[in-house]
Amino acid sequence: MNEKLDRRDFISNMSIAGVSLAIGMPQITFGTTTDSKPALLGGPRAHPASFPSWPIVERPEENALLEALRSKKWGRLNGRAVADFEDAYKNMSGAKHCLGLSSGTSALFTAMGALDIGPGDEVLIPVYTFVATYNVVVLNYALPRFVDTDIESFQIDANQIEKAITPQTKVIMPVHIGGSPADLDTILGLGNKNHIPIVEDACQAPMAEWRGKKAGTLGLTGAISFQSSKNLTSGEGGALLTNDEEFAESCYNFHNQGRHTSDPNDPYSPTRGTNLRLTEFQGSLLLAQMKRFPQQVEHRWENAAYLTSLFNEIPGIYPAKLYEGVTKSAYHLYMFRYDKKEFQDMDRSVFLKALAAEGIPCSGGYGMLNKEKYVTDLAKNKHYLKIYGEKTMNEWLEQNYCPQNDQLCEEAVWFSQTMLLGTRQDMEQIAQAIQKIRKYSGDLKKA
């Protein structure tokens, strides 16, 4: 499997990978042990079955979509489904306000819009994230400042945030990567101390918890994504959560062309905004999927805990650490580090290939975002040069250095959330596959 396979492609190809890898395998033996040869060397696959496919489509989804279709009210300004979904999500998350949006990116963009982030402002973001976190900053011509990664948790290194704060810092945007909350005690403390709002990118973390509160509800606001790969999905879609009434109203207006209501006779004068509304089809689908969501959250959590207990027995495999006792991950991803020293110096690329051959879809996760040409070219961007000047942009480039993240990007391995919806036996077979690969790593290196 491609080491740098995009997370979305990786998840959508997952169930196919499980099947297609079976083709050409001479023998499929259930209950393979660590004694048998790795599949890449002609042995039986450790995981012969497929993992659950995604998304789940059953009668509730079909009924919900038909109902929305037949209602002839397809937009939120005419129908009820989006508003009902917002109410349901509000209740589930404990947030005072929930606003449905067309995507997670739209949710973050709306937060930026409501906060009036623009040229000259700086936004602190983690470097280990999906490019959308970065895009919503540069789309507003604000300056993104990367903060390095804590290699043990895969989260933003909260101890490095303070030194990145300047008088221009207008937002701190932690990302709960993989669905596990970043260190919110430290981040919220810094926000309070410096009067900087915290916008949680909780796109991967619906229903994750920090000290019993849901991720996305602890900062000023939090963005959730319902894109196809996500734990709760409507193909595309997103939401913003907040407990701040005034902010909620600004976000509503921003996503609705700056208008509070669709009534043309309303005396309210519009403000700056755009159209980022969720449709009634998406709202209906989400309402249907939400019924099984809490049970799926527990299922992923239990399997992830079991997998971690199995991985703790394997030298060289280090599961991403959770902030013990205060956090509950949504497990959008199961992430771990692969230390090749414990695998006879076998490259991660061979490890990923061997694991995929065992019937275990996997990916090497994110590349080094701060080193992407698209990102480094910002220093030469004509608008940025006009707004910030050459000196600032050159300094920005020089400070764009995240050594911990560089190391993580070379060691990370990801599994998708759908694998955690499998059985305990699936988890055991994943661990067996890795044990087997480890035992034969000398041979695999040569193959």
Ligand X SMILES: Cc1ncc(COP(=O)(O)O)c(C=O)c1O
- Which residues of this protein are in contact with ligand X, per CB under 6 A? 103-105, 129-130, 132-133, 175, 201, 203-204, 225, 227, 238
Q: How far is the CB of 236 from ligand X (least distance, A)?
A: 6
Q: How far is the CB of 132 from ligand X (least distance, A)?
A: 4
Q: How far is the CB of 224 from ligand X (least distance, A)?
A: 9
CA angle centred on 216, ends 175 and 301, rounded to 5°: 80
- In terms of phi and psi (left: phi > 0; alpha: psi -120 to 50; beta: otherwise), the region of 365 is left
Q: How far is the CB of 435 from ligand X (least distance, A)?
A: 31
- CB of 50 or CB of 106, closer to ligand X: 106
- CB of 133 or CB of 217, closer to ligand X: 133
Pick the closest to residue 21 from 54, 52, 53, 48 (CA basis). Answer: 48
DSSP string, 367-423: --GGGSHHHHGGGG-HHHHHHHHHHHHHHHHHH---HHHHHHHHHEEEEEGGGGGS-
- CB of 175 or CB of 355, closer to ligand X: 175
Torsion of CA 236, 242, 244, 245, to 10 degrees: 40
Q: 181-206 in b/e burial notation, b at 16+ Cβ within 10 A?
A: bbbbebbbebbeeeebbbbbbbbbbb
**Cβ-closest position to ligand X:** 104
- CB of 175 or CB of 220, closer to ligand X: 175
Please state, in angstroms and rounded to a whole number, the distance separating the CA atoms of residues 224 and 239: 5
Q: How far is the CB of 360 from ligand X (least distance, A)?
A: 22
- CB of 227 or CB of 296, closer to ligand X: 227
Q: How far is the CB of 125 from ligand X (least distance, A)?
A: 10
Pick the closest to residue 54 from 18, 98, 100, 29 (CA basis). Answer: 18
- CB of 142 or CB of 431, closer to ligand X: 142
Q: How far is the CB of 234 from ligand X (least distance, A)?
A: 10
Q: Which residues contact 366 (CB under 8 A, 6 or more apart)?
A: 7, 128, 129, 130, 409, 412
For residue 319, list its beta bridge partners: 336
Q: How far is the CB of 276 from ligand X (least distance, A)?
A: 10
- CB of 227 or CB of 250, closer to ligand X: 227
Please state, in angstroms and rounded to a whole number, the distance separating the CA atoms of residues 63 and 45: 39
- CB of 81 or CB of 111, closer to ligand X: 111
- CB of 46 or CB of 198, closer to ligand X: 198
Please state, in angstroms and rounded to a whole number, the distance separating the CA atoms of residues 92 and 216: 12
- In terms of phi and psi (left: phi > 0; alpha: psi -120 to 50; beta: otherwise), the region of 339 is beta
In this structure, are residues 186 and 211 in contact, taking their beta carbons and an 8 Å threshold? no
Q: How far is the CB of 6 from ligand X (least distance, A)?
A: 10
Burial of 391 by CB count in 10 Å (0-12 exposed, 13-18 middle, 19+ buried)? exposed
In this structure, are residues 337 and 151 in contact, taking their beta carbons and an 8 Å threshold? yes
- CB of 39 or CB of 123, closer to ligand X: 123
- 3-state class of 103 per DSSP? coil
Query: Would strands 333-338 and 213-214 be described as parallel, antiparallel, or unpaired?
Result: unpaired
- CB of 156 or CB of 357, closer to ligand X: 156
Q: How far is the CB of 56 from ligand X (least distance, A)?
A: 19
Q: How far is the CB of 253 from ligand X (least distance, A)?
A: 21
| R_g of the chain, CA atoms, integer Å | 23
- CB of 46 or CB of 215, closer to ligand X: 215
The first and second tokens of residue 353, run together, are: 């290939």
Pick the closest to residue 335 from 176, 113, 136 (CA basis). Answer: 176
Could you list the beta-strand ranges (E) of 207-340. 209-210, 213-214, 221-225, 238-242, 317-319, 327-328, 333-338
Q: How far is the CB of 103 from ligand X (least distance, A)?
A: 3
